[in-house]
A and B are shown apart, each in its own frame.
Chain A
Amino acid sequence: MIPFTYTRAHDAAEAIRLGADAATKYLGGGTNLVDLMREGAERPGALVDVTGLPGAIEESQDGSLRIGAAVRNTAVAEHRAVRARYPMLARAILAGASAQIRNMATVGGNILQRTRCAYFYDGTVRCNKRTPGAGCDAIDGFNRMHAILGASAYCVATHPSDMCVALAALDALVELEGPGGRRTIPLTDLHRLPGDRPDLDTVLGPGELITAVVLPPLPWAQRSTYRKVRDRASYAFALVSVAAALDLAEDGTVRDVRLALGGVAHKPWRAERAEQMLRGRPAGTESFRAAADAELAGAAPLRDNAFKPELARRLITAVLGELMGDAA
């Protein structure tokens, strides 16, 4: 690890003042950044610790929930309102990493964690994310874990977060504050598809800080869940995961639905096409499968992950079926 300076920020303004320099990075729990600094994939000259920034989990009058960026992953999954009103979010967090890591990881750090592509970690192979223009050894390499949707000829890496898949499905908003002021953007607009600039994970500007995540009210998300398929029963990244919420009308049609996929793309993948197809249609295996087919129609699997499109289709169908419950 190259030497760096360490400072602790006490509020957002101080963090942004300290973090304005391009060689500076914000530090959450360190569970991703410290690892990448050891591997030389990140080389900041200064770290600004933002775990001490104020911000808890606040319930607003309108039913929305505001979660400070420094709140630990465990605290989000443990919060009573999250468990009762957004079970898919609690389940997504609990499906990620280990209990020890969740105790350290912050909301901001989880959102901005970088890909687990082994070629990105390995400084001896080509990676466009690590060194723009270098080429990508994953495209023709071991790519079982890699993307099937929205990838490019430059990068087939996936975003590894479970939490973000639920946030994408819930229409979460991300509050940002930077040298240029404040803005709020949908989480689904925060992460980029790789295109020809896979070195840019997100649309964040230099020195921009995540200050909070807001979950808009969504009463029917009480009926929601998260399911993750992985190579072992626990403590492994997703091959494919699904966050889903289902609102059934009295006549058995789908009044509304939320669907997002993990493990398939460079960003948490909101399955808008499938959602659109399902609204107003009779709930049931047939329409679930048709919607999943439509969402995966553009899938472009690689050498080692041809199983992913079918796995994603089955997972979508099964999870929506589970949410139908007794109505099925």
Chain B
Amino acid sequence: MSINVNGNPVELPGDPRVSLLDLLRERLLLTGTKKGCNQGACGACSVLVDGERIISCLALAVQYEGRSVTTVEGLAEDGALHPLQAAFIAHDGFQCGYCTPGQLCSALGMAAEARRGLPSAVTADLEADSMPLTRDEIRERMSGNLCRCGAHNGIVDAILDACAGGGR
């Protein structure tokens, strides 16, 4: 029973009560992923599983056997920040930084969803082939990630900069 985390195979816990979030933080010491509410309500624990964003606090780790998890620790490559991380710095997309790892993973999943044409609650034409990332679209699609510091304007700017042009 194993799971892949940021490219490394990891044994799954024997106790099925262990959440994916606790596996990452407590057992693998990957503390980038944050525990805000542990109830699905804040998005601080967002990670990517096979490229799709989920919240890891309500995910039992055993359910993800054989899947590939990417956390904030897996975004930089060869010591270079991911372009979205750099954009967060450039646009002041955080203050305390607690929500940031979740925002980053969520935004990358979000950009992929928009690229493949998934509509959102504010999309006027459900049948449109492409889903351009406007400010309104980004705010709605990112509403699962709260920021208690209120850095949302910078977060939206950073995402617009790094993701709206169809970058990775």
Contact B141 A99 (CB under 8 A): yes
Given A83-B119, A83-B126, A84-B127, check contact A98 B143 (CB 8 Å).
Answer: yes
Q: Which stretch of A59-67, A86-94, A197-205, A286-294 is in the interface?
A: A86-94
Q: Which stretch of A12-20, A26-34, A125-133 is in the interface?
A: A26-34
Contact B16 A47 (CB under 8 A): yes
**Which residues 11-29 of B sit at the A interface, judged by CB distance below 8 A?**
15-17, 19
CA distance A83 to B125 in the complex (A): 9
Q: Is B73 an interface residue (CB 8 A)?
A: no
Given A3-B17, A235-B144, check contact A99 B109 (CB 8 Å).
Answer: yes
Given A77-B119, A83-B127, A234-B140, check contact A30 B38 (CB 8 Å).
Answer: no
CA distance A234 to B126 in the complex (A): 18
- SS of B interface (majority): loop
Contact A99 B110 (CB under 8 A): yes
Contact B141 A31 (CB under 8 A): no
**Which residues 109-159 of B sit at the A interface, judged by CB distance below 8 A?**
109-110, 113, 117-121, 123, 126-127, 139-141, 143-145
A-B CB pair tally, cutoff 8 Å = 99
Contact B58 A104 (CB under 8 A): yes
Q: Is A4 an interface residue (CB 8 A)?
A: yes
Which chain B residues border A49 with CB–CB below 8 Å? 63
Q: Which one of B17, B54, B119 lies within 8 Å of A90 (CB-CB)?
A: B119
Which chain B residues border A233 with CB–CB below 8 Å? 140, 143
Q: Is B95 an interface residue (CB 8 A)?
A: no
CA distance A87 to B43 in the complex (A): 27
Task: Name 14 interchain pairs, CB-CB below 8 A, sorted by A.
Answer: A1-B17, A4-B16, A5-B16, A6-B60, A27-B60, A30-B60, A34-B59, A74-B113, A91-B121, A98-B143, A99-B113, A100-B46, A104-B58, A234-B140
Q: Given contacts A51-B63, A95-B121, list 11 more A-B pairs with CB under 8 A.
A: A3-B17, A30-B60, A38-B38, A74-B118, A83-B119, A83-B126, A98-B143, A100-B46, A100-B144, A104-B55, A233-B140
